[in-house]
A = this chain, B = another copy of it.
Amino acid sequence: MRLAAECEILFEASEPTPVIFMLRPRSGEGQWVVAETYLLEPSVSVTEYTDTFGNLCQRLVVPVGAFRLHTTACVEAAAEIDVYPGAPFVPIQHLPEEVLRFLLPSRYCQSDQIGNLALEIVGDAEPGYDQVEAIRHWIQTHVDYQYGTSDASTSALDTAQSHVGVCRDFAHLGIALCRSLNIPARMVVGYLYQLDPMDLHAWFEAYVGDRAESPTVGRWYTFDATQKEPRGNRIAIAYGCDATDVALSTQFGAMQLLEMKVAVEALEEEINIKVRDSLLSDP
């Protein structure tokens, strides 16, 4: 489905504030960025670079005063996510090198401390996809989604105890539980069509077998513990080990976020995307 996503953030800085934004979705295996815009007001000098996860990061210094960031993206996204019950566990020795880092504990996903809970949850589910789905389902049914119950320091261990949180906490818990079973898991932030209430969203991916017949080949699958059913129409903006790596805005100074608006709409018909009237059009 072709989706139009939009994010607008207003900041107020009392001093020049270095900041790293991660708000430019990349085209990749699962999505194609047909069009995008990225506006900063006032206009400032920006450097863009790629981090070790492949995310496009925008570095800049927010000047004193009001600052507005406005991004849109028109993206061809998969209407459904792939599900594959029974997909096998990929033995560690067969994981691609770039996947190994997603086995390690991280700031918010202390997988080294949560193994017992994971074993309890997965019971005798088959190693691999079914374990991840058991984890996802357990979170979905045992953790309450409530705004204001967690903050920037809340970790998977906290959520395992409090049984309450928001999408970010759901994802952290899912990731920590997977990794404790030696299943690589990573955090994704992005847009989800028809999320209610609309906001930027977070979910997780787990790396398990791609094809039953070749148990050494794996791939990433999408899991979202905030949803009852598998849902597609997602636009991934950034990937990382946890929220540390995928913060849409990492600021170094006393800048305030005043307001943030997010919208995602389906583009039912082929729209006419243009920066301006076509330069090439016939007269």
Contact B38 A106 (CB under 8 A): no
A215 and B77 CA atoms in complex are apart in Å by 28
Number of identical protomers: 4
Q: Identify 25 residue pairs between A and B in the complex whose beta-carbon atoms are under 8 Å apart, listed by A's number.
A: A4-B279, A6-B278, A6-B279, A18-B92, A24-B27, A26-B48, A27-B38, A28-B47, A32-B46, A32-B48, A35-B35, A37-B275, A39-B273, A60-B93, A72-B279, A103-B252, A104-B107, A107-B107, A107-B110, A112-B153, A261-B280, A264-B279, A265-B279, A267-B276, A273-B275
A residues sitting closer than 8 Å to B (CB atoms) are 4, 6, 8, 18, 20, 24, 26-29, 32-39, 43, 45-52, 54, 56, 58-61, 72-74, 76, 91-93, 97, 100-101, 103-107, 110, 112-113, 152-153, 182, 214, 244-245, 250, 252, 261, 263-265, 267, 271, 273-276, 278-280
**Residues of B with C-beta under 8 A to A261:** 280
Binding site secondary structure of chain A: mixed
Shortest Cβ distance from A19 into chain B, in angstroms? 9
In Å, the complex CA distance between A59 and B113 comes to 24
Closest B residue, CB atoms, query A41 = B270
Q: Which residue of B lies closest to A157 (CB)?
A: B153
